Every structure is written in C-alpha cells, then in structure tokens.
Amino acid sequence: MLGNFSYHNPTKLYFGEDSLNYLKDELKKYGENVLLVYGGGSIKKNGLYDEITAILKECGKNVAEVPGVMPNPTSDKLNEGVEIARKNKSDFILAVGGGSVCDYSKAVSVSVHCNDDPWEKYFIRFEEPDCKILPVGCVLTMAGTGSEMNGGSVITNHKCKLKIGHVFGEEVMPRFSILNPRYTMTLPKYQMCAGIFDIMSHICEQYFSGEDDNTSDYISEGLMRGLIHSSRIAVKDPKNYEARSNIMWTATWALNTLVSKGKTEDWMVHMLGQAVGAYTDATHGMTLAAVSLPYYRHIMQYGLKKFARFAVEVWGVSPTGKTDEQIANEGLAAMESWMKEIELVMTISELGASDDMIEGIADATTILKGGYKVLSRDEVIKILKESM
C-alpha cells in the first residue's frame, strides 16, 4: 500500500515553442537586481542570450552575470557566484541552461545570505537554510535532471574529491521554469543521450524501492515506456520536435517528486555515479549508465518480483514458462541492449576511472538505506570493479 505523504510543488511551468513570451510577466513579480547565471556560452551562439537580455532590459532590470557554470558545478564556483550576488545586491536569480546551471543557481540562492560556509552547512552537514533565500527562475536548455521543478542541488568539491547532492525543500524550488524543446536541439548528441539516461535512472531509482502495487509504480512504468520510445526516435532524428518535447516533459515528471510518493526510494546509482564523477569529472548521465547494470544485477535477487515486473511491463518480456529470475534477467538484458542502442557509455573506465581510483571512489560513495539491500563497502568495491 501507499505510505503516508504530503505533496506540494510550487513551480509554475511554461512549456512549448512560445514559452519565453511569459518571461516578462514573471520578471515583473521580482526585484530589480537580477543575477543572470549561464554555462559555457552556447546561449550566446544560438541567440538565446540576446533574447533574454533584451527582455531583462525591457523590464528595467539591473543585471549582474555569472557565466561559465560548468557541467559539474564546483564549490569554488559557488563561492564566486555568492560574491557577485552580494556585491550587486541581487534579489532574483535567472538560471539559463541545463540542470547544472539550475542546480548551481539554487545553491547560490541559499548561500547569498548564509553566514556559514555553504559547502559545510548544506553539503556536509545537510542542514536546511535558516536565512533569506533568493527566488530562482529557470529557462531550460537541456532535458534530463528535472532540476527545473525540484529542490535538488549537486555541487562538486575537487579538494575533497566529493560530489554531493542536497534536496532542499519547496521554498528553494524554482518559482517558474520555461521549457522550450527547441532549445535542447543544439545540444551535442552525447549530451542528449546522457540526459535521456539521467531521466531513466531517476525513474528507476524511485521505482525499485518497495514491492507495493501502487499508483506511483504505474505512472513510472508509463514514463519509462514513453521515454524508451521517444529516445529511439531522437537518436535517429535529433531534430524531431515531438520526440524531444516528450523527452523534456518526461524529464520534468521523472523528478518533480510526484512518482516518489509512497516510495522509500533507492538512490544508490546516483551515489555511485556521483562518486565516479568526483574523481573523473565525467558527464553525469554517463556515470549513471556505467554503474547501473552492475548495481541492479547485484541487488536483483533482493527485489526479484519487482525486477520481473519491470521486465514484463517496461520491456515487454514474455513471462510464460519462466522463473522470476529468468524474467528479471531478460529485462536487464533488454535494458542493456537499449542503452547500447542509444550509444551510452557502459563502463567507468571509458570515463577515465582507473583501478587505482576504486578505493577512493568507494570512500566517496554515500551508503543509503532506501533500497532492497543496504550495501557494504566491499559490495560497493565489487560493483565498481564490475563497472570497469
């Protein structure tokens, strides 16, 4: 049965090709000093930067910029953004980019008025903000993380070799997000495919926790089937608007806290992938892809009925005359074939991990208790070795 829960998501979404038209109305609700946050400069090449700065100017905003937010935003970059926001008395943050830019902007939003070290407070001690929080709005350019409609923020500390996420409460969620699938079409194919698997992993990590026959599971299965279908179209035809829009919408629903309701959740794939990313700085979705199958094959026996259901309901495996174990293995084999079909990285060695990093990556892996099996450190090492 479903567990007890409350649900509220305050983020307002504008979806579609004309969604940027609503930015002006949203900006009117917030202060005059805007912190514009973006990544490596692609928004300047595709013209989006000019469109947004023109809207900001029309709205009479004083704009300070934080450019160059990297795919795995660092604690040093966080400190830089906080300094710029404080200097310019920013009272609103506009994030333009993918999930990393959105994640980063949320981290800045809770840090500008924080009297403590943000890394220590939020990402080591996992404390909640007790200071004024700057409101955030997002213009999304990549589908994958779901950061546009949740309170999550992931920051990397290179000195500590740690990559850690903090899921903040609804007060940190973006006030609004603008989702135009056209903006995602300038992404390199590698990044698109990484985003697709990030979506898949988000759903799986909520789905593979508990064996209850509940509404959250039925929604998750539908989302996964739709994602698989659209991904196959998008890989062959990256400009297919219907496929890209369905992928973008699925990404939002995969991690806006809806399908987690009534679930214990198992985020060990993310813990493993983020630890790999802390050592390699590799693309997030690809680190997840590289560790997923070794992890799921390791825990399959502890949640066998759910893995068999996954095989039948998501991958269309016929259960006739087969044991649950055979069905479950066929499902993971089907998942592996799809992963290769959409050109994902399948080993952490391809991402730059080496044998001499395994112990350190294991030490950087946070052990969670929401899944079918709580891992020991030896099991983490075994899974990492199988991921090589």
> Measured between alpha carbons, how far apart are the two ends of the chain, in Å?
38
pLDDT recorded at residue 16 = 97
Both 375 and 357 in one domain: the answer is: yes
pLDDT in tens, the chain (388 residues): 667 888 899 999 999 999 999 999 999 999 999 999 999 888 998 899 999 999 999 999 999 999 999 999 999 999 999 999 999 999 999 999 999 999 999 999 999 999 999 999 999 999 999 999 999 999 999 999 999 999 999 999 999 999 999 999 999 999 999 999 999 998 999 999 999 999 999 999 999 997 677 899 999 999 999 999 999 999 999 999 999 999 999 999 999 999 998 888 999 999 999 999 999 999 999 999 999 999 999 999 999 999 999 999 999 999 999 999 999 999 999 999 999 999 999 999 999 999 999 999 999 999 999 899 999 999 999 999 999 9
Q: 3-class DSSP state for residue 342?
A: coil
In the chain, how many domains are there? 2
CATH number of the domain enclosing 176: 3.40.50.1970
Determine the Cα–Cα distance for residues 209 and 218; give it in Å rounded to an integer.
14
Tokens 């198992």: give the residue.
266
Structural domain for 69, as ranges = 12-183
Residue 7 lies in a domain: no
Both 44 and 108 in one domain: the answer is: yes
Both 38 and 171 in one domain: the answer is: yes
Residue 125 lies in a domain: yes
Q: What's the pLDDT tens digit per position in 24-38?
A: 999 999 999 999 999
Both 135 and 196 in one domain: the answer is: no
pLDDT recorded at residue 137 = 98
- Cα–Cα distance list, 122 to 75, 92, 111 (Å): 11, 20, 9
Both 142 and 23 in one domain: the answer is: yes
Residue 3 lies in a domain: no
Residue 6 lies in a domain: no
Residue 2 lies in a domain: no
Domain's final residue, options 163, 183, 203: 183
Q: 3-class DSSP state for residue 95?
A: strand
Contact predicate 102/174, CB 8 Å: yes
pLDDT recorded at residue 6 = 85
Residue 102 lies in a domain: yes
Sign of CA dihedral 289, 374, 371, 369: negative
Domain's final residue, options 183, 206, 241: 183
Q: Which of 72, 81, 142, 143 is nearest to 107 (CA)?
A: 81
Both 34 and 178 in one domain: the answer is: yes
Residue 288 lies in a domain: yes
Domain's final residue, options 148, 183, 218: 183
Sign of CA dihedral 217, 219, 223, 225: positive
Strands (E), 6-61: 12-15, 33-38
Question: Strands across the sheet with 62-66, in order?
Answer: 12-15, 176-179, 136-140, 92-97, 33-38, 62-66
